[in-house]
Amino acid sequence: MRRSSRRGAQNALTALAAAAITLALAGDAGAWCRTTTSKSFTPTLAKPCDDAGLPLYWSSRCVGYDVQQGASVQVDLATARATMAKAFAAWSSVDCPADAVTCAATDVGQGSPSIEAHDLGPVSCACAEYNQKGGNSNSIIFLDHGWFNCDGSPKTDADVTLALTTVTFNTDSGEIYDADMEINSLPTNAKITTTDPPAQVLYDLQSIVTHEAGHFLGLAHTQPTHPEATMFARYSQGETAMRVPSRDDACGICAAYPPKRVTVCDDQPRRGLTDVCGGDPPATGCHCEAPGAAGGGRGFGLAAIGALAALVTGVIARRRRRG
């Protein structure tokens, strides 16, 4: 073998080794994903997080929320408010890294994320809605007596849905305007518990709302490689681990709300806090789509490339998105 050829082969091997190390490190890196404005993103191994849409975020460093005043027969108002406060505090108190993408275990000490949630007091409105012209509230709603929409119609699949988060946002910017969390507390459907002894824990309220609070703040499910994360997609009865965000969760929230983000603290909901439901005149706007106009398959071109290239592309895309 000629010297130059040998050197070329060595370089190629070195490059391959470097690529392998990079991929290996990428596998250990943060697996968090952010929610985006995309309507129907589908994760794949090559593209686990959406990078086509704009990430959703709260523009202010302070977000107000309100617990529905009736709370639940299973959880009184004081306990519900205390639980929500713990859930949001768990997110705002994480220790941020310098590099949220690599998310090294030793990379800490950069401060807390620039987001905090404030309890603005109980509200009487017990349905999830967004008022386009009137005041709003980011409501935490318990449903003890059946699940109904704001117009009084019954919610579908109410007997198998434990919690539902609805987020309203600006499609041009990704800014979140409103978020509501509905919790099914009908005793015959879901036995919610707030106790600590694991043997007594059924559907641990703090675990569920800490997970939902992550979504409320704009995080999506983490990748399946991180089952220890609060933002992992599955919860099992009796578990309490989701109460505390993992390192991966911390990197996700810090990427969304960097400690040094310059922003104001305004915890008031959009157009001010309202205590009651409704307040908007009937809206007439609509948006229609027909074949050829939709973006349902956007981004799937990546699937045609080889697995290695796809993984590298995915890593690059994530870094760009997170930047």
Partner 1 sequence: MSRFARPLVLALALGVATPLALSLGEGAAQASTSIALTVQDLVDRSDAIVVAIPKSRVSRWESGKIVTYTTVSIDTSVSGAGKAGDTFVVRTLGGTVDKLGQQVAGEASLPLDVPLMLFLRPLPAGTAAPAGTRHVVGMAQGAFRVTVGKDKIARLEAHLDGLSLVPQAGVTEPAAHVALGGQALADATTTLRKAWAKRAAK
Residue 194: strand, helix, or coil? coil
- Beta sheet of 62-67, edge-to-edge order: 116-119, 62-67, 139-143, 176-184
Does position 260 interact with partner 1 (CB under 8 A)? The reply is no
Which residue in 279, 282, 270 sits closest to 136, CA to CA? 270
**Binding piece for partner 1, criterion CB under 8 A, among 2-10, 13-21, 99-107, 234-242:** 234-242
197 vs 292, which CB is nearer to partner 1?
Answer: 292
Does position 121 interact with partner 1 (CB under 8 A)? The reply is no
Does position 267 interact with partner 1 (CB under 8 A)? The reply is no
List 183's β-bridge partners, or say none.
142, 163
**91's tokens:** 């997110």
**Binding piece for partner 1, criterion CB under 8 A, among 2-10, 86-94, 111-119, 290-298:** 290-298
Which residue in 229, 175, 167, 313 sits closest to 32, CA to CA? 229
Subset of 42-81 contacting partner 1 (CB under 8 A): 42-46, 48-50
**Binding piece for partner 1, criterion CB under 8 A, among 10-18, 82-90, 192-200, 296-304:** 296-304
**Backbone phi, then psi, for 284, in 5-degree steps?**
-115, -10
List 98's β-bridge partners, or say none.
none
Does position 143 interact with partner 1 (CB under 8 A)? The reply is no
**Binding piece for partner 1, criterion CB under 8 A, among 60-68, 88-96, 107-115, 298-306:** 298-306
Of 13, 19, 24, 233, the one binding partner 1 by CB under 8 A:
233
Subset of 166-205 contacting partner 1 (CB under 8 A): 166-172, 177, 203
Sign of CA dihedral 43, 46, 51, 56: positive
Subset of 23-42 contacting partner 1 (CB under 8 A): 33, 35-42
Does position 303 interact with partner 1 (CB under 8 A)? The reply is yes
Query: 106: which residues sit within 8 A by CB, 6+ positions away?
Result: none
Does position 132 interact with partner 1 (CB under 8 A)? The reply is yes
